[in-house]
Structure 1
Amino acid sequence: MDTFDILLVEDNEADILITQEILNQGEGLNTLNSLSTAEEAILYLNKRAPFQNVKKPDLILLDLNLPKSNGFAVLVEVKSTPELMDIPVIILTSSSCDYEKEFAMKNHADLYMEKPLDLNRMKRFLKEMEYNKVNKINNI
């Protein structure tokens, strides 16, 4: 079985550990790469130094509240770049601000989740993502 490559853009160590725990409970083989800033994520996604040899992620888990530039910069970059726009993006935030949710959805976020994370909802989404990836591979 292929691995399901996930890019987590999160600066809070506790949230990184929680996300890893959720992924460890999944049925698929998940690879989690974690970055703590929007700037790093944009370099990673565009395979710029020092990330020239990374694999394109199958999914991005994106915190909005990041140091310096916020997560919206990453969302806009992903959804406006033809080579990246097919990557699903799940927004993870501790904010319940309606403006942020509206902005995320207008910019084509695939899912918006407030922290603390709804573990069952996250598991269902990941399971569906893994299932769809396997079916795409089998249909080639």
Structure 2
Amino acid sequence: MMVNKPIKILLVEDNPADARWTFEVFKDSDIKNEFFVVKDGIEALHYLRHHAGYKKVPCPDIILLDLNLPRMNGFELLKEIKDDEYLKSTPVVLLISSNYPPYIKKAKKYANYCIRKPVNFDHILKILHCIDSIVLDNFHSK
């Protein structure tokens, strides 16, 4: 990776064990990062729009989004992100747990990438590769 500043990653994940495991993998990776976690779609919107207790948080370079979330599901959040002029350019990697084709087709309508929810280290490596590609593309296009 050629970027020297840390990549700001926002993980939207309601399962504490999945969030903790994903954080540990990124902590141990060679990608310099700042890792932030929110637990549902409503909290993610507050974070992304700097509302409530998120007034001074950094804007993420990339969002890792679980689709099965409480209060506002991942599809609803993804639509909000991509319909927002300020947020729509933020790359989103969907973490999906279903191989149901209509579900995946709907997810790909708005997301940059869809990856089967991490259940092993190979899946996390794919996410790291996607992040590397997306962020480098965004840095070079600015």
Q: Give the TM bin, normalised by the shorter chain.
A: 0.7 to 0.9
In 1, are the aligned partners of 2:62 and 2:135 still within 8 Å (CA)?
Answer: no
What's the offset of the Cα at 1:22?
2.6
What's the offset of the Cα at 1:133?
5.1
Pick from 68, 74, 78 the counterpart of residue 71 of structure 1: 74
Question: What TM-score, normalized to structure 1?
Answer: 0.86
Q: 2:73 aligned with 1:54, yes or no?
A: no
Structure 1 counterpart SS, 2:71: coil
What's the offset of the Cα at 1:122?
1.4
Q: What letter matches 2:115 in structure 1?
A: M
**2:102 alignment partner in structure 1:** 99
**2:115 alignment partner in structure 1:** 113
Structure 2 counterpart SS, 1:50: helix
Pick from 123, 129, 137 the counterpart of residue 132 of structure 1: 137
Q: What letter matches 1:124 in structure 2?
A: H
What's the offset of the Cα at 1:130?
4.3
**1:24 alignment partner in structure 2:** 27
What's the offset of the Cα at 1:120?
2.6
CA deviations over 1:6-64 (Å, ceiling 9, x no partner): 11000112211221133123323211110001100011111111211111100000001
Write the distance in 2 (CA, Å) between the matches of 1:128 and 1:5. Answer: 14
Q: Percent identity at matched positions? A: 32
Two-structure CA RMSD over aligned residues (Å) = 1.8
Q: Where do 5+ consecutive residues of structure 2 fail to align?
A: none
Q: What letter matches 2:38 in structure 1?
A: L
What count of residue pairs does the alignment treat as equivalent? 136
Q: What letter matches 2:111 in structure 1?
A: A
Write the distance in 1 (CA, Å) between the matches of 2:93 and 2:38. Answer: 15
In 2, are the aligned partners of 1:93 and 1:114 still within 8 Å (CA)?
Answer: yes
| Aligned positions of 1:78-89 closer than 5 A | 78-89=81-92
Q: Where do 5+ consecutive residues of structure 1 fail to align?
A: none
Q: What letter matches 1:98 in structure 2?
A: P
Structure 2 counterpart SS, 1:34: strand
Question: What TM-score, normalized to structure 2?
Answer: 0.85
Distance 1:61 1:4, change over 3 A: same
